[in-house]
Structure 1
Amino acid sequence: MKKLLFLILGILLILIAVLLIRTFTYPFKKNNSETKSVWKAVKNDSAVQRFSGGLKIPTVSTGELGNFDYSTFETFKEYLRKSYPLVYQNTENYEINKYGLVFRLKGSEPNLEPILFLSHMDVVPPGDADVKNKEENVFRPNDQPLPAVTKVAEDWDFGPFSGAVANGRIYGRGAIDMKGMLFSLMESMNNLIKSGYIPQRDIYLAFGFDEEVGGAKGAAQIAVHFKKQGLKFEAVYDEGGLILEKGSVKGIDSDVAVIGCAEKGFLSARIKVKGLGGHSSMPPLETAMGKAAIIMQRLEDDQMKPIMTPLIKQFFDNVGGTMPFVNRLAIANQWFLKPVLLSQLTKNNSTNALVRTTTALTMMKGSDGPNVLSPEVEFIVNFRLLPGNTVKDVKEHIAKATEGFDVEVEEIDNTKEASAISSTKTKSFTIIEAGIKEIYPDAIATPYLTIAATDAYKYQIVSKNIYRFMPIKINDPEKQSIHSTNEYLSIENYMKMIHYFEYIMKNYDR
């Protein structure tokens, strides 16, 4: 018996030694912040005012498949033309589907594959807050009135379409998502043209107008146009990741620049559950709503299995060196501790979304009366698909959850598979890292999985190197302002974003 105990103890000691050695010798990414010089942001009042003016134009996209008021988009197009005459005069530029905008700055070597920068001009509505009967200081061509959406929402410190410049910030709906990136790209290209710089390869800008409602009329049509032209892009750059301020990611003791090398897929299903209707005074033993509740409970309790994908493994390899010892232990010893690591990751909303196809119950409809039993109850469940899971897998998962019940399942919205994963072993990726070092040398740059949908997905037909990253450093309150109230972009972030894109454009082939 003693021999057995000693044997077990010996095995445990060896195991502990192996775990510790692997933890202390694991090749976590080292962040080298040594740079020849760090670029300092200098305020450019003219650039700020051009951006502010663009925020005053309420290019709101809403409604089914982009059936919304386009009058403000006409205003916005004209505003860009007046604000950036050099860009319009020195590029090949044209419209796709009337409102999509494309700019091509020709390079000196047409045999090289071009690079493409994306943005979108549409924004979400300012919110459901009550509005004052007071018109806002919005941009008006020839003093013409704009739609009622320009009234001031009470929950905003400054009007959602004021373009207010105050407190070192530029306020307005779309400041971060995503007119800040659109105007910084225009400023960057404008600066290149003004300086007489000629790139080696062509540089394209492409701006959609309905990204917030799926991008079917904007980015999708632009991508198809490029495909028909026979264009193949060396790299495509879009929104997605950000520079997360130290402390905003639990357990990571550093600024982290997360670069989206892939994005999750999407499937929303309407599930109609059949049962007996009637009066609530004589209910059946099991109502349609009760059956629906069972299915919903199954969907939440038995979700799709978590997976440590290669992309997320690389993410933790990069950021793990700044994490507490226990986290480093688990990351370095996934051969033994992967189940424990996945279990911990699934307990947090943000990390859970990185390692599994998520399940979100979003809407439900039953009877219209408190004493009426509906013979049919419907609810909607939304899945965001992890690369490695497929739409077919999700459909089988739904079928298992609804087994034993009389149901109808209908897909709604824009079902799509998870995107392809772009390599980090490319010039297209390393130039992003170099650009980040220019403006935030202490940030850890790492590949990441973009949780939300972007226009970038549509451009898979013209490039295999697609990266989702906006070079702005934000904290938790700023993150919360996106699609919410008091959205703003700091002037420092805006100046650094302009410099970042100008750096990428100038140095891609150096």
Structure 2
Amino acid sequence: MRYDKELYAKHLQGMVRFPTVSNADPEKVDWETFLGLHKYLEETYPLVHKTLTKEVFGKVGLLYHWKGTGKSGKLPLMLTAHQDVVPEGDHSMWKYPPYEGVIAEGCVWGRGSSDCKSNILAYMEALEGMIADGFVPDYDIYLGFGYNEEIMGGPGAAGTILVDLLKSRGVEIGLELDEGGGIDQQGGQYVAQIYPAEKGYADFEFSMKDPGGHSSQPGEHSSLGIIGKTACILEENVLPQRLTKPAIDQMKAMAPFMEGELAQLFKDPEANWEALKSILAQNRTYNAMTRTTTAVTMMKGSDQANILPERSWLVINNRLLTGDTIESLQAFYESIVPEGVEVKLLKGHNMPEVSSIESEEYKLLHSIVEKKYPGITMMPSLLLGGTDARYFSDICPTHSVYRFTGMRRFNSKSGGAHQVNERTDIDVLEDDVEFYVELFKAYGSAQ
């Protein structure tokens, strides 16, 4: 198969030009833009659309299926990604317009260029090239492209719709891959950071009602004053630090690349837990690895300075570890907030199942990256954010749901996901396509 990074860049440019922004309010989404992207994919990858069946699920989700020969006996391979992107923000802050897909300075620039239309590109380019070469899989292949991943679920989540559809057809998955992870360098050595787990998610609203009135005649506390006090209480009562298996595995994998005291402590996190706790709490990333986090993110009172608010509210975002649940969080919050403050779950889910790092599928991923990067270290890690991969644990009996791509991440040219000047280095596109080509070839023969 011939790899062509310039062609890949051109095709990614075309995808970026569709501003597929998701919104928690479906009425505010331009669904026609998503349909435009669908048509572009059909035109750009004719062999994929001729060979695989395609159907639309939910609003504008895409499900592709390639029925293999079945000779391998393997459960299907599932690759997922999301079509939607986050809002682009202030256009004046972008070096190049966010939806033109400008190719400059060795990168494709624009919203979605890295998160995560580059994943869609890699899957489709790999399949288009392999079909042209006459490849036929001995197992089934599924591609699933959601459309509201960036709003983190809730009613109408595309991931739920897709998994329910597959369940209704009796489909089980042998390996599921989604965004996240990739090839890094640490201390001059190659590292494959792979995420067998991701944290749960919850948005809670804290609100208080009050008669309101004119600001010239305030009471002792306004409702916003009480809500402000609530924010302080929440920040002063964070959930305790805990060690979980994903964090333990990650620290042990990181130990050889660390220096000083942490290098020794990470070798055995359980034995060194008391010494580690205070150190980890001072680092945002390590802190988030070892506790359910609480972040006060939104607050509102009245619409004008001289009006006492009749209802004030704040919203916090939690990222949950195993052992904490949405139900336990709500009970805890109700026990510590001031009287009269109502606690309401807006949306959320508990931490999904942690996938195996002993499975044949995990070992297969290791063998593929080892072939390209001899001596590479696999670094299982806990994803602090979220992906659509979380929905697939229920239909993956091999416990092989991972967030990983074959893309090089030690190149400083790429970056900016969810920020201005999001871009992807053209050189890494070829690596990602090659990874999926090797995966499609090897999966059917893996034991």
TM-score of the two chains, using structure 1 as the length reference? 0.80
2:240 to 274, 296, 305: 305
Matches within 5 A, 1:55-454: 55-65=16-26, 67-97=28-58, 99-109=60-70, 111-127=73-89, 129=90, 153-214=91-152, 216-246=156-186, 256-273=191-208, 277=212, 280=215, 283-374=218-309, 376-402=311-337, 404-412=338-346, 414-441=347-374, 443-454=376-387
RMSD, aligned CA:
2.5
Instruction: Indicate how the Cα distance of structure 1 residues 427 and 370 shifts in structure 2: closer, same or farther if over 3 A, else same.
Output: same
- The number of equivalent residue pairs is 439
Rounded to whole Å, the distance in 2 between the matches of 1:476 and 1:222 is: 34
Rounded to whole Å, the distance in 2 between the matches of 1:429 and 1:62 is: 34
Rounded to whole Å, the distance in 1 between the matches of 2:24 and 2:34 is: 15
> What SS does structure 1 have at the residue aligned with 2:181?
strand
How big is the shift at 1:370? 3.2
The one-letter amino acid of 1:232's match is E
Q: Deviations over 1:58-95 (max 9, x none)?
A: 22222414751111112111111111111111222222
Rounded to whole Å, the distance in 1 between the matches of 2:258 and 2:388 is: 33
> What SS does structure 1 have at the residue aligned with 2:379?
strand
- CA contact under 8 A between 2:294 and 2:316: conserved in structure 1? yes
Rounded to whole Å, the distance in 2 between the matches of 1:67 and 1:363 is: 20
Question: Structure 2: which 5+ runs fail to align?
Answer: none
| Larger CA deviation: 452-461 vs 365-374 | 365-374
TM-score of the two chains, using structure 2 as the length reference? 0.90
State, as a whole percentage, how many aligned pairs show the same letter.
28
Q: Deviations over 1:233-274 (max 9, x none)?
A: 00111113344454xxxxx77554321111111111111135
How big is the shift at 1:411? 1.3
Matches within 5 A, 1:43-54: 43-54=4-15
Larger-gyration structure (1/2): 1
Rounded to whole Å, the distance in 1 between the matches of 2:328 and 2:122 is: 40
- CA contact under 8 A between 1:264 and 1:451: conserved in structure 2? yes
- CA contact under 8 A between 2:254 and 2:266: conserved in structure 1? no
1:500 to 421, 435, 443: 435
Rounded to whole Å, the distance in 1 between the matches of 2:27 and 2:425 is: 30
The one-letter amino acid of 1:482's match is A
The one-letter amino acid of 1:203's match is I
> What SS does structure 2 have at the residue aligned with 1:61?
coil
The one-letter amino acid of 1:167's match is E
Instruction: Indicate how the Cα distance of structure 1 residues 61 and 278 shifts in structure 2: closer, same or farther if over 3 A, else same.
Output: closer
How big is the shift at 1:214? 3.8
Rounded to whole Å, the distance in 2 between the matches of 1:454 and 1:165 is: 28
| Greater than 6 Å deviation, 4+ residue runs | 476-479
How big is the shift at 1:495? 0.6
- CA contact under 8 A between 1:43 and 1:491: conserved in structure 2? no
Instruction: Indicate how the Cα distance of structure 1 residues 401 and 439 shifts in structure 2: closer, same or farther if over 3 A, else same.
Output: farther
> What SS does structure 1 have at the residue aligned with 2:405?
strand
How big is the shift at 1:369? 3.8
> What SS does structure 2 have at the residue aligned with 1:116?
strand
Question: Structure 1: which 5+ runs fail to align?
Answer: 1-40, 130-152, 247-251
The one-letter amino acid of 2:42's match is R
Q: Deviations over 1:276-332 (max 9, x none)?
A: 755555544444344333322221122101111011101111111111131122223
- CA contact under 8 A between 1:65 and 1:213: conserved in structure 2? no
How big is the shift at 1:417? 0.8
